[in-house]
Structure 1
């Protein structure tokens, strides 16, 4: 196989597990890794989109593809999937936990089961994935764990409490994992913090404020995030930011909280809401909505940092 710059001098196909592999960043990753000739294990909740993604990846050049219709919130199902990957494709070299859901609405307006559902997928799901792969990586002293966080994991934003709390938790978990695995020089944990990314998470989100959300500017393509992740695997950073305004927003939140609080609500309402009269809906939080799975959302004219 032709050497891939993301792999350094070693062109041996990696075994890569991607969760949330049928939409958004997960789908973009599956396609890029397939083009690099890797062995792919794809996990998502719905079988038909998984089958379509697997077919695309085989055509694109993946060394092999296995699929698992499972919910990351189901720890037993995740554990079974990982053991199956190891039997079929060998030890997992890289896992990217990109499965995630979101909810909009004031805290008191979001039903408890929806709030809990966001945390179950985003936080407990992340813990389940890490729990299933980390012991083997530690035993081999080799492996990459990539967790998809968000710029809101370092901010507070109105009417997104469940999602923001979940991303704060993922950021915390990533740091704890980095500290606890300092004794394994070959095990790397990377937290990816995307800014505004044009994925279907916005039209798929639970909504209890009458609006459909949209990504804040500057908006990037999911392929940009995927490409940055793949390019980072040879020398994994502890944190990978995708968004030129991320640091500015986080700094303003930390250093100027009163000013941040005064401007964030009107600014958030202006730039992150579609002006639509949307009835309350749990979106895809409690059950998948495969019809809305896609690579991108509906906000063209993206800033795309992709470089070949």
Structure 2
């Protein structure tokens, strides 16, 4: 991979906005040939021009990742155009807000089909090509929610947990197959400033917004490029993820209470009524084709969330260390 990285061949799903768009531009600046896949063709055309202007090559292949044949076609055309695929980034995702019991089944199912089965379809296409050529890096974009509980977005949380588990299983299988030059990495970003929230399906009766702490799409894109160069099992992007994940490990009940209250207060607005909508779940929306979603950082909320996590960790650290010290002695 290292000798190819100066001009890698990269496939990115969900490339029309947000993290996917930022990642395409980041790779293009390094001379990559990027294959851009998403449902919206016109934003992909505009992105392809920007990638070529940045110094890369670009191929546009419109596709809905819920259609396995369409994803296989993305792989076929990328290989036909550039001769190989070095990196495949499974990034396409949608989300849905609402209490579990008040969310209709079809929108709920659509989140799972897009996020999880879209990743499965991409993994099948990528790994088949990687096995033929003997190398490659599959990067699955999950979320901090793959390690942490959140209310109101249970379909999204379930799909991201599943993506992380899928990545773990694939790594084990590749090890058994002795495919040492094929890697699977998982990215776990915190809340990212993208149009995802404007595109969201919503049955919560409240308007969703990006919940602090918010990281930039460019930061996630740089992390993805680093993984392509030097693969790792999984990485968090943003400081809140590792802190809250550790808190969840040491005190799951406390973590659930903290995140339930934080999401209720910071992720959904109480001052306006939101009409029920499927957002972009079943058809793409014309708006929201930029890298960012225009969400401004909320320092006060940011500090409140991080302070609670840090204080929780500080209080639990001595007890956790004591348990780790005692455990082997108790089992002896």
| Alignment pair present for 1:221 and 2:216 | yes
The 2-side partners of 1:232 and 1:81 are apart by 22
SS in 2 for 1:215: coil
Over 3 Å counting, the alpha-carbon distance change for 1:58 and 1:136 in structure 2 is same
TM-superposed CA distance for 1:179, in Å, is 0.7
Q: Tell me the equivalent position of 2:292.
A: 296
Alignment of 1:224-263 (within 5 A): 224-263=219-258
| Alignment pair present for 1:285 and 2:281 | yes
Alignment of 1:40-189 (within 5 A): 40-62=34-56, 64-182=57-175, 183-189=178-184
Over 3 Å counting, the alpha-carbon distance change for 1:68 and 1:11 in structure 2 is closer
- Give the TM-score normalised by the residue count of structure 1: 0.92
Alignment of 1:186-201 (within 5 A): 186-201=181-196
TM-superposed CA distance for 1:277, in Å, is 1.2
Q: Which runs of 5+ in 2 are unaligned?
A: 300-332
The 2-side partners of 1:80 and 1:191 are apart by 24
TM-superposed CA distance for 1:229, in Å, is 1.3
The 2-side partners of 1:149 and 1:302 are apart by 23
Over 3 Å counting, the alpha-carbon distance change for 1:291 and 1:31 in structure 2 is same
The 1-side partners of 2:13 and 2:253 are apart by 38
Q: CA RMSD for the aligned pairs?
A: 1.7
The 2-side partners of 1:228 and 1:302 are apart by 23
The 2-side partners of 1:56 and 1:117 are apart by 31
Q: Tell me the equivalent position of 2:30.
A: 36
Q: Which runs of 5+ in 1 are unaligned?
A: 1-6, 304-308
Over 3 Å counting, the alpha-carbon distance change for 1:11 and 1:149 in structure 2 is closer
The 2-side partners of 1:264 and 1:235 are apart by 32
CA contact (8 A) 2:212 2:297 kept: no
Over 3 Å counting, the alpha-carbon distance change for 1:74 and 1:218 in structure 2 is same
TM-superposed CA distance for 1:111, in Å, is 1.1
SS in 2 for 1:144: strand
| Alignment pair present for 1:16 and 2:7 | no
Q: Between Structure 1 and Structure 2, whose CA radius of gyration is higher?
A: 2
CA contact (8 A) 1:202 1:212 kept: no
CA contact (8 A) 1:191 1:239 kept: yes
TM-superposed CA distance for 1:301, in Å, is 4.2
CA contact (8 A) 1:195 1:216 kept: no
CA contact (8 A) 1:35 1:61 kept: yes
Q: Which has the higher helix share?
A: 2
**1:25 pairs with one of 15, 19, 28:** 19
Q: Which runs of 4+ in 1 moved over 3 A?
A: 7-12
Aligned length: 296
- Give the TM-score normalised by the residue count of structure 2: 0.85
The 1-side partners of 2:256 and 2:298 are apart by 28
